């Protein structure tokens, strides 16, 4: 299936429109996301990423242009139907945990959508298994690590069996271990279900795993393409306040000290391989 699950068409949004000195947070933005894709939306803090997230779930509506999701135009009428088909995980693990325990929290969206009790029990278990938190049914949020809380939030989204999962800076407040847990969970989910994922992030290591990257700057789309193509633009990213993945940073540093590497390396292994070829040619 190759249908479009989310699209922005010339979308512009300005906070405090009446004040003309305020620049639009999102300016004439167009993109579309296919069913089954993993898209990373990257940009430094203040590049318009969080406004895009709010436009995606109907917390904000565009002033010009249109947003379409699940084949419907985003409007007051279609809003709840669209929301029931997408899950969203936010930045702060504490501020989105509604339930008193893990299982209550996962059930929250199901309760809201009037899912019958027997069905809920099955779905809650299933969703928690998918994020490997099935042993924590009765745990309270303050006894969980940040990574665990975010996985519970993902389970809460999955329980609704959504077509789209949006991660809005979901890893930015976590420690490295928590970040790994969440990224690993998403990778496995993708492998198992092919769920469409939009991750909004400033972590390019995370973005490198996506099928496609959209780079935002000052409310506008700066770059778009497959990760290796985007990373090849090197300095342009660094100038935007973003950091290249480690192996690419190393490639650049090696060039600076006079090692004429040919490729741009997305992984450490590729870099090691070229260095080895380089070395053995001598």
Query: Restricting to residues 9-28, which ones interact with other proteins according to CB under 8 A?
Result: none
Number of residues that bind other proteins (CB under 8 A): 75
Q: Which is nearer to other proteins, 9 or 140 (CB)?
A: 140
Q: Which is nearer to other proteins, 2 or 123 (CB)?
A: 123
Site membership for other proteins, residue 256 (CB under 8 A): yes
Among 126, 228, 243, 270, binds other proteins (CB under 8 A): 243
Site membership for other proteins, residue 184 (CB under 8 A): no
Site membership for other proteins, residue 46 (CB under 8 A): yes
Map the footprint of other proteins across residues 151-180, applying CB under 8 A.
Answer: 156-157, 160, 172-173, 175-178
Among 33, 62, 74, 83, binds other proteins (CB under 8 A): 83
Site membership for other proteins, residue 59 (CB under 8 A): yes
Site membership for other proteins, residue 130 (CB under 8 A): no
Among 163, 202, 212, 221, binds other proteins (CB under 8 A): 202
Site membership for other proteins, residue 137 (CB under 8 A): no
Print burial letters for 110-148: b (CB count within 10 Å at least 16), e (below 16): beeeebeeeebeebbbebbebbebbebeebebeebebbb
* Shortest distance in whole angstroms from residue 239 CB to other proteins: 10
> What is the C-alpha separation between 43 and 206, in angstroms, rounded?
13
Among 88, 155, 167, 200, binds other proteins (CB under 8 A): 88
Instruction: Please choose, out of 15-23, 214-222, 226-234, 256-264, the segment that lies near other proteins by the rule CB under 8 A.
Output: 256-264
**C-alpha angle with apex 23: 18 to 29, nearest 5 degrees?**
110
Site membership for other proteins, residue 145 (CB under 8 A): yes
Kindly report the backbone phi and psi dihedral angles of residue 12, in degrees, each rounded to the nearest multiple of 5, phi listed first: -125, 135
8 A C-beta contact, residue 165 and residue 3: no
Map the footprint of other proteins across residues 93-112, applying CB under 8 A.
Answer: 94-101, 103-104, 107-112
* Shortest distance in whole angstroms from residue 36 CB to other proteins: 22
Instruction: Please choose, out of 20-28, 69-77, 126-134, 254-262, the segment that lies near other proteins by the rule CB under 8 A.
Output: 254-262
Site membership for other proteins, residue 120 (CB under 8 A): yes
Among 38, 90, 136, 231, binds other proteins (CB under 8 A): 90
8 A C-beta contact, residue 28 and residue 219: no
Map the footprint of other proteins across residues 205-234, applying CB under 8 A.
Answer: none
């Amino acid at each position: 299936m190759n249908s479009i699950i989310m699209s922005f068409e010339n979308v512009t949004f300005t906070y405090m429109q009446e004040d003309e000195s305020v620049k639009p947070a999102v300016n004439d933005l167009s993109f579309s996301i296919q069913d089954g894709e993993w898209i990373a939306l990257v940009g430094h803090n203040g590049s318009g990423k969080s406004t895009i997230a709010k436009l995606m779930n109907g917390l904000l509506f565009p002033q010009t242009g249109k947003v379409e999701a699940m084949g419907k135009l985003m409007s007051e009428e279609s809003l709840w139907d669209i929301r029931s088909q997408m899950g969203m995980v936010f930045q702060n693990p504490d501020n989105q945990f509604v339930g008193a325990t893990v299982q209550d929290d996962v059930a929250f969206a199901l309760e809201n959508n009037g899912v019958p009790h027997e069905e809920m029990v099955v779905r809650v278990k299933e969703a928690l298994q998918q994020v490997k938190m099935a042993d924590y049914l009765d745990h309270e949020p303050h006894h969980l690590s940040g990574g665990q809380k975010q996985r519970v939030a993902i389970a809460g989204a999955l329980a609704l069996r959504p077509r789209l999962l949006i991660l809005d800076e979901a890893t930015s407040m976590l420690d490295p271990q928590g970040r790994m847990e969440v990224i690993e969970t998403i990778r496995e989910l993708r492998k198992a279900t092919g769920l469409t994922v939009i991750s909004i992030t400033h972590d390019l290591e995370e973005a490198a795993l996506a099928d496609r990257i959209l780079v935002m700057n000052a409310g506008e789309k700066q770059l778009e393409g497959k990760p290796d193509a985007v990373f090849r633009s090197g300095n342009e990213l660094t100038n935007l306040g973003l950091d290249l993945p480690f192996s690419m940073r190393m490639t650049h540093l090696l060039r600076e000290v006079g090692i004429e590497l040919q490729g741009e390396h997305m992984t450490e292994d590729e870099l090691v391989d070229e260095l080895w070829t380089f070395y053995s040619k001598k």
